[in-house]
Every structure is written in C-alpha cells, then in structure tokens.
C-alpha cells in the first residue's frame, strides 16, 4: 500500500519530465469530429489530463478498475444514488449513516420518486422483510458515523448479490489502508476524500471507485449535474494520497492507544472503538480490517452535555472542529455538527446521544494525546 500510494497512476517520466504531475488549468481541449459528448476533453466532463491522472491513482488505491473524483463526498454519494435509482425505485440503507446522507434520503429522495427503508446492519435476519420488488441497491458504511460500529460486510455483499442489488459502501472512515471493500465483493465504494484520502484539512472532494461500466454511469451523472472537482483541489488530493498509508497507520495507533486509556478512566462511561476487545464488533472487525481506524466515540459518566462541552473546551492539542481524517486530532459533538439535521428524536432513535463525543485522531505523539485527554478530564 505504501508503494501504491506514492507511485500508482504516475507516468514515468511525467509531462515535460516532471516527477510531480502538473496542474492542467485549461478547461477546453481540441475535439475530434464525431467524438461522443462525454469523451470531449472538458473540465466539467471529468476528462482533462489532471483528472484522468487523479482517477487512475484513486482506482489503484481501492484496487478498482475505475474511479472518479467529485467536488465533495456528498456529490459522490448523491451521484451514485442518482445513477442507480429512478422514479419508483427503492433503496435499502443502514440505519446509522452520516448526517448529510441521512438528510438527503429523508428530505430529497421522495421528491425524486425514490423510497428508502432503513435496516439494522447488524441484524441480517431482518433485511429480507424490507425488500420490495422495486429495491435496487443497498447502502452501508464500513465504520459507522458517529457510533463507530462495523457491520457484517460480507453478509451485506452476499445479501445484495442474492437479491440482485447493487451494493454501495461508504469507506471514508476506514480508508483503503484498512479495507478495500471491492475485494469483499462490493460494487461501488464512495469516499469523502476531504477526510483521510487528502488528510490535511485543506480541500473538499469526494470519489467513487468500482467497475468500469458502473463508474461510467456515475461519471455521466456527475457530468450533467456538474459536481466536478477543481484542478487545484485535484492536485492537492493527489499529493495527499502519497502519504495516506503512513498517516492512517499512525492514526490507527493513536486511536487505539487513546481508546484504551479512556476505557479505564473513571470519568468515562463508554468508549467505542473496534480495536477494543470488548467492542461488540471486535471479532469480525479484526477479521475484516487491516487496522481499526483513527475514529472513536465516548460519553462521560456524569454531567451530560454541560460536562461534555466543558471537557471539549479544556483540550489543548485536540481541536474542536466538525471534520475528521486530518493530521491534527479533531473532536466534536455530532448532535450539534454532523448529525444536527436529524433532530433530537431522530438522533435518539438511532442511539446518538446528545453528549456523545466523536474523536478523529491525528498523527501527533500518542503519549501527548493521552496526556491532553487526561488533563482535560481532570479540569473539565
């Protein structure tokens, strides 16, 4: 993975002998008479040299025949759904998803003529009851946001294949370093590339990886809706990918170290990280994943939201901010950030407590992180 992250998709030598692939700022290129519209070299059509280079790098990291970059993670996810579903179609989805995905399915899918049923991804025995003759796809997350659960992904693939559904997984929290879902049999993998793939909290992007035919369907949807990635952002993403493996391994280590410390602290009531041996998904996560990820969540033993906010304010290394996957440790309360749109009743339904704290571990020294959290627990 380290070698793939650095060299995959690179031409040797690059244009004009370059080692780092250049930014092609031009939006329009010479056309060929009789050329198909979607094959014209044009920035919005995702066919410029910079874009093709980035797509090759993304595909290699996921072990995919093809990939596509988009202007955001939500652009990637919604473009996939637009490509798979039409009026009257039905989607199965995990009952705990990123807040933006949930809001899209709740607020906009019906306007498009779609229906959606949420299922408990940890209860395969209940999935068949949610099927309809119009069901076309099954959407899950590798590691759920923000509860940090790991669904039985092999069972998801088998169920989707058995019922002729397209299986889609959001692999943002795991990254290709910890899991390549296509190797399990998933049809499409989506990422918010803003997070681990870029890793430096300085761009917004998304991507989709999968088979050539499916990715071409998604590309044509993106071309028409306009969710194309800017060439400068694409350059930064391609650069960030080179350090993906070393960053994620450090984040895996830091999250597990911090989770183990927090589990034994008297002020902490609950810690969720799949690397802990008492996590409900630890056994199958250990079998599926190469690493347990850089994310964890926790709840304090007493004080509710007031205590949680005081603790967050007392942290000095970790920064209170809503994103994740960067080199710096970020903390947030999902009830007021990533899952605010669900409302209190929706969050309660899916087990997202108002005082739940989500932690995205960076690449700082693990001992420094533990010390920072220990001091904040004492002071907060």
Give the single-character DSSP code of 230: P
Distance from C-alpha of 116 to C-alpha of 92, rounded to nearest angstrom: 6
Active-site residue, from 21, 98, 149, 347? 98
- 21 part of the active site: no
Cβ proximity of 117 and 93 under 8 Å:
yes
* Residues 203 and 236: beta-carbon distance below 8 Å: yes
Asked if residues 318 and 326 have their Cβ atoms less than 8 Å apart, the reply is no
Measure CA 289 to chain center.
Answer: 15
Peptide bond into 146 cis (omega under 30): yes
How far, in whole angstroms, is CA 223 from its chain's centroid? Answer: 22
Alpha-carbon distance of 353 to 299, in angstroms, equals: 8
Q: Which of 41, 195, 219, 249 is catalytic?
A: 195
Report d(CA 88, CA 103) in Å as an integer: 19
Check if 225 is active-site: no
Q: Which residue among 41, 57, 170, 358 is the active-site one?
A: 170
Single out the residue of 80, 283, 256 nearest to residue 171, CA to CA: 80
Is there a catalytic annotation at residue 249? no
The 10 Å Cβ neighbour count of residue 310 is: 14
**Cβ-proximal residues to 341 (8 Å cutoff; 6+ apart), any chain:** 99, 100, 102, 103
Q: How far is CA 300 from the centre of its chain?
A: 26
| Catalytic residue check, 195 | yes
Are residues 237 and 94 in contact, defined by beta-carbon separation less than 8 angstroms? no
Cβ neighbours of residue 299 closer than 8 Å, sequence gap 6 or more: 268, 269, 270, 308, 353, 355, 356, 357
For the annotated catalytic residues, the residue numbers are 44, 98, 170, 195
């Amino acid at each position: 993975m380290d070698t793939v992250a650095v060299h995959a998709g690179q031409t040797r030598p690059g244009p004009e002998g370059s080692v780092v692939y250049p930014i092609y700022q031009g939006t329009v290129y010479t056309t060929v008479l009789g050329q198909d519209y979607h094959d014209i070299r044009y920035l919005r059509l995702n066919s410029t040299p910079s874009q093709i280079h980035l797509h090759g790098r993304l595909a290699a990291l996921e072990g995919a025949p093809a990939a596509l970059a988009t202007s955001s993670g939500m652009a990637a996810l919604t473009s996939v759904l637009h490509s798979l579903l039409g009026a009257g179609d039905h989607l199965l989805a995990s009952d705990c998803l990123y807040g933006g995905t949930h809001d899209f399915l709740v607020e906009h899918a019906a306007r498009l003529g779609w229906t959606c049923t949420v299922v408990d991804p940890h209860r395969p025995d209940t999935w068949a009851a949610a099927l309809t003759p119009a069901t076309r796809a099954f959407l899950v997350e590798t590691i759920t946001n923000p509860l940090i659960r790991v669904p039985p992904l092999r069972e998801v693939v088998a169920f989707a294949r058995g019922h002729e559904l397209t299986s889609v997984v959001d692999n943002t929290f795991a990254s290709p370093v910890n899991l390549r879902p296509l190797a399990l049999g998933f049809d499409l993998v989506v990422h918010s590339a803003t997070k681990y793939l870029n890793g430096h909290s300085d761009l917004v992007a998304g991507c989709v990886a999968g088979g050539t035919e499916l990715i071409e369907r998604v590309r044509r949807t993106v071309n028409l809706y306009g969710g194309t990635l800017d060439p400068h952002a694409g350059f930064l993403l391609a650069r960030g990918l080179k350090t993906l493996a070393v960053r994620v391994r450090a984040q895996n280590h830091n999250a597990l170290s911090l989770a183990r410390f927090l589990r034994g602290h008297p002020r902490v009531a609950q810690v969720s990280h799949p690397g802990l041996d008492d996590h409900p998904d630890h056994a199958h996560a250990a079998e599926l994943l190469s690493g347990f990820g850089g994310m964890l969540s926790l709840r304090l033993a007493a004080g509710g939201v007031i205590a949680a906010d005081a603790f967050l304010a007392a942290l000095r290394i970790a920064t209170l901010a809503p994103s994740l996957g960067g080199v710096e440790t970020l903390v947030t309360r999902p009830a007021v950030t990533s899952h605010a749109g669900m409302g209190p009743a929706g969050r309660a339904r899916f087990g997202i407590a108002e005082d739940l704290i989500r932690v995205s571990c960076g690449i700082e020294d693990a001992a420094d992180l533990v010390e920072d959290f220990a001091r904040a627990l004492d002071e907060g």
